[in-house]
Amino acid sequence: MVPAGMNCLILLSLIGVRGTLALENGTDNKEATLGARLSMSGLQFFSDIGHKIVTHELPKLVIPSFDLPINDGPGKGTVHVSNLTLQKFESPHFHFELAPDRGITWNSQGGALRLTGNWKAEYDWLVSVSLKGTVDVVVTDIRSMLTLGAYGYDSHPQITVYECKTEVKNLHMTLSGGVIPWIINLFHDNLAKTIKYSIHQQLCSLVQTVLLEDANDALRKLPTRVEVTDNVFLDYGLIHNPVITNYYVEGDALLDVSVGNNTCSIPFEPVKLVAPERDNFMTNIWISQTVLDCLLDSVHKSKMLEFIIDRNLQKSLDTFLQTSCRIPTICIGEFFKPLRQNYPDEHIDLVFRSFTAPTSNISPDGITIQTTFDIDLHLYPTKMHPQILAQLQMNSTSVVNPNIVNDRVVGTLNKTEVTFGEMSSTIGHFNKAFLTALEYILKPMITIAVDTAFRVGIPIPLVENVTLANSTTLVALDKEIRIDANLLYRAENETAVHFD
């Protein structure tokens, strides 16, 4: 889900008119774990996209047929106008300014459109006269005002139109056909005013029906749940209305992690929204350490950190896990006399399971992940030998460097340190030589496993067809990370466009 209020701002940029975002009051006590800010350049980015969409949508403008009475002159009559069709449209130019505590104001001017259609007049004076022909209307300098409201419905942002006004500054109308100019002159000016009024009405109607309905439908379809990996999901929920200042628009959301239908229950660390000293980016996104902790808690609860290292994993393990050694190799039986005497010519399984949920610490130095595993020693295969021969506890500390790959926050493993401690044993005590050999065997595997896990990453919530530019940077802060990004727009079957 896009951060609270951001979809509303995006929709505003698509309209390209003068408007004010009217926000409905609403507060709650939930803590935000996701924050986002759009700078002036970020808002301009979406405004530039809006030009393309307005140009695409406004050709749908349809002026319905209408009748206009002719009351001037010595007689009476009616003129009927039909088939008014938009032939050409040029999007108006607009700019916006942020109005703190009120919203966003767009001012538009310029732009043009051309309509053509048919007219037919009936006029009675002494005799009945019937005239018909074509109408050609050219409109320039279209100015508009739009007031939108934002509200939440079923965890989704929705848009409502409070007020819409349009003004056509210049309209030139040409009527062709007919053979009696003085009758045409009787209704020419009133017909031009009526067409201008119809354009006013239909522009606002288009916003309130086609564009608004399409936008709200798209917002309702935004996923509030994104699967990170098997049965582990990110759930998004709106928190507060946007904060609008002279320089940016900022919103927040609750980003939760769940396994199946079980949500995260650990204490939340709210985002502090620490801004960069110099911000040359379109958007900033903050993600709380809580999101990572919830993800780690989720994979622990889902038993994704339970696995078996056995003789089949790689050739060196087939030798090391033997209870009876073959000269000149070294095996586990070399370190435990009861093991090689009581269980000769067998292999050992190492059954790993996370003892508690891993914990993280995000700081300017990077991300540190601490994990505690219980390691149970069974005869191979474990399913046929449930008895635990011995148990170790392994503490793993990994330092991860966060970065951005394919619009996801991922981690690259910097280093991993492991230590072991004996918990219980029926085969003799674990001496230092064995623990050193075990570390030598297991550390590369753990390193690969941790590195692979962090490459899955956390998806960054983005609007459809918008992606992060290559200039995006990720900064580790105290208990949160900040993404400083410029944006690219990629419509269907188009290459990415960077609006400068």
Q: Tally Cβ neighbours within 10 Å of residue 453.
A: 20
Contacts of 22 by beta carbon, 8 Å cutoff, 6+ apart: 103, 147, 148, 149, 150, 162
Distance CA 446, CA 375 (A): 13
Q: Which amino acid is at 107?
A: N
For 42, the 3-state DSSP assignment is: helix
pLDDT digits (tens, 9 = 90+) for 455-468: 777 777 666 677 78
CB contact burial 376-393 (16+ within 10 A = b; e otherwise): bbbbbebeeeeebbbebe
Helices and strands: H and E segment counts in the chain: 8, 27
Contacts of 394 by beta carbon, 8 Å cutoff, 6+ apart: 352, 372, 373, 374, 375, 418, 419, 420, 421, 442
**Which of 30-39, 282-291, 349-358 has the weakest average pLDDT?**
30-39
Cis peptide before 338 (omega within 30 of 0): no
Q: Which amino acid is at 289?
A: Q
Average pLDDT over residues 265-290: 88
The pLDDT of residue 360 is 93
DSSP 165-202: EEEEEEEEEEEEE-S-HHHHHHHHHHHHHHHHHHHHHH
**Which of 11-20, 26-35, 326-335, 486-495 has the weakest average pLDDT?**
11-20
Q: Classify residue 111 as left (phi > 0), alpha (psi -120 to 50) or beta.
A: left
**81 neighbors 70 (Cβ within 8 angstroms):** no
Distance CA 397, CA 140 (A): 67
Q: Tally Cβ neighbours within 10 Å of residue 217.
A: 9
pLDDT digits (tens, 9 = 90+) for 6-23: 333 333 333 223 233 333
The pLDDT of residue 4 is 29
Instruction: Give the mean pLDDT of the chain.
Output: 80
Distance CA 316, CA 209 (A): 68
The pLDDT of residue 394 is 94
Task: Reply yes or no on whether the pLDDT at 498 is more than 70.
Answer: no
Task: Reply yes or no on whether the pLDDT at 244 is more than 90.
Answer: no
Residue labelled with tokens 């078996």: 308
The pLDDT of residue 346 is 96
**Which of 59-73, 308-322, 408-422, 486-500 has the weakest average pLDDT?**
486-500
Query: What CATH architecture is 6-223?
Result: Super Roll (3.15)
Domain 292-463 is classified in which CATH homologous superfamily?
Answer: Bactericidal permeability-increasing protein; domain 2 (3.15.20.10)
Q: Which amino acid is at 378?
A: H
- The CATH 3.15.10.10 portion of the chain extends over 6-223
Cis peptide before 328 (omega within 30 of 0): yes
- The CATH 3.15.20.10 portion of the chain extends over 292-463
For 460, the 3-state DSSP assignment is: coil
Distance CA 106, CA 99 (A): 10
Distance CA 332, CA 395 (A): 21
